Structure 1
Amino acid sequence: MSQSAFPRSKYVAIAMTVLVVAGVIAVAVLRLGGDDAEPRAAATQTTSAAPTTPTPTPEQTTSSPTPSPTPTPTSTASCEGPDTIYNEDGTEQDSLLPDCGIAPVTQPEQEKSGLSLACGGSYPVILYKTTTTGAKTSICGRDSSGADFRLVTQPKGGGPVVDLKGTYESQLDAFVAKDGSTTYSVQAYDGTLLVDKGGRTSKQKSSDWISLDNEPDSD
């Protein structure tokens, strides 16, 4: 009995040893697996978010206003009269204003009857105007240069308008035009009208004159 019992005890001891070793290995594997999982989770949790671009404030997004262009003043008067001030808005003029009540002529009217004191036709620019004791006179230019002009004069009490080709005499500072034996001269510096008929000269002093180049003046 005692001899058969010993081998059985030996097998039981070996089996127990195998179980213990297997348990130790299982515990070690579990620990290794748990340690490996924790850093991955930690890494996932500590990943920082991507930086965002700050949104501009209303002050930063407001653009500076663009300045509006200054409007160019325009002349409001169409003729010169007692209540009209020459160049009243400060704008450089291309022509003097005609006297109120006198209209510029059209091209057909100019070809038929000549210019009026308001000029017109192919000589639309009023370069100079003077009112003397006996007449009203205008210098009408093709443009504001005064290179090509006509002298237009009319007696104060009415009568026919005289429209003549004119020249500028620099020595006299005068606008000069001839009609046969009669010569008309307007002194540009004071508006005086000289009328020479056959050697006899009458001098008409100006009460009011105005030049496109020299601005208003009067005695």
Structure 2
Amino acid sequence: MDSAPYRIVDGRVLVDVRLTPRGGRDAVEGAERLADGRAVLKARVRAVPEDGKANAALEALLAGALGLARSEVAVVQGKTARLKTVCLGGDTASITAGLGKLAATLLLAIVLIGGLGAAPAAAQFAIRGDLCSDANVILRSRAAVERAGLQSQDRARLVRTLRAAQSLARDGCPNRDPWLLRRATGMVNAVNREVRLPPIDLPGSARP
């Protein structure tokens, strides 16, 4: 099962997208998981699926959202289908960080607006992320803590845990320190269990 809607191949990022043409607006709407387990980015465009117009609109949308030149974005598979693969050129670290933020938008909005009652249903569609590639990991957990209706001492305890995890990640991510990253990930997942969020992934460099 893929944990993210993108992969890096030959120095370029390939992102899988489920596109809705004639969608009324141009927007990236987070991520979802398909029945076969694949994660995809969700997007909609106003353009119609004729003469490559919807594909061109998707390319322009992703270029703008990720701060890329239009020439660095191209639909390379699924040009006549709703499920597409888009090739992104440029700095892979910046692109994957940007994609992580786009993919996290859906779950974050549900937690902030809908409360925890909606979180379990969203969890199956959420991109799990990790502390080094997804800037919103701590934010999602903190938002869930604030919405959980906990006693003040329990809320303060979980917030302290997240702050400690963030500090460890700040030290561990630049050097990819396995011990720090395992400890920080474990702390975040302990909080997530209490507030019914899905666990985050261990950064690749810290995996056994």
Report the TM-score range of the alignment, normalised by the length of the smaller protein.
Answer: under 0.3
Q: How high is the TM-score relative to the length of structure 1?
A: 0.23
Q: How high is the TM-score relative to the length of structure 2?
A: 0.24
Give the number of the structure whose alpha-carbon radius of gyration is greater.
Answer: 1
The structure in which a higher percent of residues are helix is 2
Point out which structure has higher relative CO (alpha carbons under 8 A, 6+ apart). Answer: 2
